[in-house]
Chains A and B, each alone.
Chain A
């Protein structure tokens, strides 16, 4: 079976007035059903730009894509969104869904969440009545473990916490019945305690429905938990790629090693070192 997403030699250039920035400089990867592929890197490495570029969500006229990014989703024909940019509309919300980065700004503040979820449902199933939409929607909210989904249906985004909002966003993403989920730093804006819940939810969904997940993150802990395969990204290129155990436990490249070592570790107070730094200040 062909992969849900097949990216080959993707290049994204951004026209910012005076200069042209090559944010993504030739990356290739695939995502298949049932697996989680992670792009990991620091800020500015190009990982989010890759995901947004593939989905056609970079500001119009700003980004120029080259290479290829082929979607092969069930129920639709294969589509290369770089060769045929307009075709991205046939896959967005119809097999590929986005889970965005900051839940607090990802929803329209003046519409209730039920309305926004309902709108997404109606896109897939235009014939539904209001009652049916609400029924399906509340069921989705239940699926993502939102308590008292019936009352939350009429709530506004600002009335919910970050964790709850992210669950709502996942529910809206699911309304499109996706085969592929693109999760752009889904937990970066959340508290650590809430992060685990979201990641659990994503894994549960993957087990249950077999969706593929393209995960973007800068957090090694997150990557380690949920990924099958990892691509380490730096300055728009992949520095290292492989099965997650191999990359994390036995990194081949120096950059990967530095990245792994950069996680602060709890250790003993080293008084000698601290006194030294104080004296030289």
Chain B
């Protein structure tokens, strides 16, 4: 058990490391002067010199890597010239908006997808389920920028009951959350359906039925408990993916999170900010995913308690 923990943490750190290194490499492999990239289009010669010294850009690659890592560990990810502030601070300032959005989306997803998945599983292979199936496939197939614009038009412009952008009031959370949830509900409900159908077909469910338990108990106690573990871990994984996947939704709704930050940074070619955003969101997503992976053995008694033979 402990060994598994250590292994997963090690893998997580390795992946963060890999992400960090990839970003480092990419900026240096791209055409153009990295110093100009870091200093911005309005840099003076002095600025360029300063940036070169700060990042060690005139030194061999390996030495640069060392400088990069050293700066990273000290929390120095450069200065965003479009914000005129340390890049890391800018990113951390916008992070809570993204996590709020991701959290509300995952909650909405859970509340809708689980009953929907169970509904589909109980009617597996009927015409009604086929209709449900097509609806979820449609949800899975809509580009989020498009569904965002559609929802925006319908509920904020044509029928102005919800705010169109920003986070001035809590109402502004509704449309972006729903937009994100469309895809997530589709994915999770299909997973729930799969797991439920599998659980309903197991021998232990048949045996439980023979004991006289009602359908309700069979589904919500026995089948659900067994399906819960993969579903919970999937929800966790989706949450991790959302942390850096809500870029488009944030742009559509002008949501002040890290997604719209990265897009703006790309438009202004603000590389320290781009780098900082990618690093922070990657580390966070990897961290959350790690927690999810670690939670799995805790949830499943077969893994947690191991196989103990007794006679």
Which of A's residues lie within 8 Å of B, judged by CB? Answer: 55, 57, 59, 89, 92-94, 97-98, 100-102, 105-112, 116, 119-120, 123, 155-156, 158-161, 163-164, 169, 172, 175-176
Given A111-B225, A159-B307, CB of A55 within 8 Å of CB of B211 = no
Residue numbers in B under 8 Å from A161 (CB-CB):
309-311
Q: What distance in Å separates the Cβ of B196 from its nearest Cβ neighbour in chain A? A: 14
Can you pick out 29 interface pairs between chain A and chain B where the beta carbons lie within 8 Å of each other? A57-B209, A89-B212, A92-B212, A93-B210, A93-B211, A93-B212, A94-B212, A97-B210, A98-B211, A100-B206, A101-B203, A102-B203, A105-B203, A108-B204, A108-B208, A109-B226, A110-B300, A111-B225, A119-B213, A119-B221, A123-B212, A123-B213, A156-B302, A156-B305, A158-B305, A159-B305, A161-B309, A175-B211, A176-B211
Residues of A within 8 Å of B211, CB to CB, are 92-93, 97-98, 119-120, 123, 172, 175-176
Question: Chain B contacts of A116 at CB under 8 A?
Answer: 208
| B229 A110 Cβ-Cβ under 8 A | yes
Task: Give every chain A residue within 8 A of B216 (Cβ-Cβ).
Answer: none
A159 and B311 alpha carbons, distance in the complex (Å) = 10
Q: What B residues does A94 contact at CB under 8 A? A: 212
Q: Which residues of A contact B217 (CB under 8 A)?
A: 119
User: A110 touching B204 by the CB < 8 A rule?
Assistant: no
Instruction: Specify which of A106, A109, A159 is in contact with B207 (CB 8 Å cutoff).
Output: A106
Question: Given that A55-B210, A89-B212 are known contacts, is A160 also in contact with B310, CB under 8 Å in the complex?
Answer: yes
Nearest A residue to B229, CB-CB: A110
Task: Give Cα A92–Cα B301 distance, bound, in whole angstroms.
Answer: 29
Choose among B206, B221, B308 the residue that contacts A159 (Cβ–Cβ < 8 A). Answer: B308
- Assembled-state Cα–Cα distance A177/B53 (Å): 84
Partner pick for A110 among B206, B209, B226, B307, CB 8 A cutoff:
B226
Chain B nearest Cβ from A114, distance in angstroms: 13
